[in-house]
Amino acid sequence: MDLATLTARLDDRLDTDAYADVDASANGLQVGPGDLQHTPREDSPEIERAAFAVDAAAATIGAAAEAGADLLVTHHGLVWGGLDRVTGRAYETVSALVEHDIALYVSHLPLDGHASLGNAAGLADHLGLERQAAFGELGPVTIGRRGRTPEPYAVDDVRSRLADLDTDGREPQVLDFGPEEIRDIAIVTGSGVDWLGEAADAGVDALVTGEGKQQVYHEAREAGIHVFLGGHYATETFGVARLADLVGEWGVETTVLSHPTGL
């Protein structure tokens, strides 16, 4: 499949345009040949193998090159709110992509909130949540999910499921301020404690996210809600894995790269 067709399909499936005004990430093709809006499809390079990773970094670009990938798809890219200069680390990273002839496609918030492909949806499935619905309002879009457990969970039930993620040995942290029985859970992956207020207003028993901030301790305690911190990286591995499955169905050979940060 050619690069223009592949990226257009991803943009459409992920509803990338809907997040343009709320996401600092430049979602879509960040590094690649030609202007895909104006380059004819027949001039767009063929993508035979695509690699998928959470982060665009020297380690994952090197692994993608070793895998023979023509395209690297990541959740965290290189361009956030504009790119003023390509120097230092940015130069080294972009140079590595160009040297190995690897295009870079990025999906940040669209891949957090997607109802079936997203990080939050994948984590909700991992936790066994039923009756899933959108959660985590950010302007006109949502970036999380919520759902109900099939039976009452204890704190250790949720903690043990989070410990099964790719945490690089890091134990999930828990602010144990909610009810003894957990039934309703809200999820915003990565850095999602800013949605604690929405979770409390929704009456859920627990908020699951990746990493915390100092003030969330008191906010959770006063709201009477559990907060589970499963790790930023660990909670955001689902989306790229699901995208790899999707692109594989389109006839492109795919590989998922694991490079946990422990954070």
- The CA-to-CA distance between both ends of the chain, in Å, stands at 35
In whole angstroms, give the CA distance from residue 208 to residue 31. 33
Annotated binding site for a divalent metal cation: which residue ranges?
Answer: 75-76, 112, 232, 236
Q: Find how far residue 198's CA is from the centre of its chain.
A: 20
Identify which of 243, 227, 245 has the alpha carbon closest to the alpha carbon of residue 54: 243
Q: How many CB atoms lie within 10 A of CB 259?
A: 15
Q: CA angle at residue 235 from 229 to 241, to 5 degrees?
A: 170
Residue 235 three-state SS: helix
Annotated binding site: which residue ranges?
Answer: 75-76, 112, 232, 236
Residue with tokens 């692109």: 247
- How do 130-138 and 141-153 pair as beta strands? antiparallel
In whole angstroms, give the CA distance from residue 172 to residue 174. 7
Yes or no: say if 207 and 227 are a contact pair by the CB < 8 Å rule.
Answer: yes
In whole angstroms, give the CA distance from residue 76 to residue 25. 8
Q: Residue 29: beta bridge partners?
A: 105
Tokens of 184: 């309703």
Q: Residue 80: beta bridge partners?
A: 25
Torsion angle, alpha carbons of 47, 78, 74, 17, to 10: -90
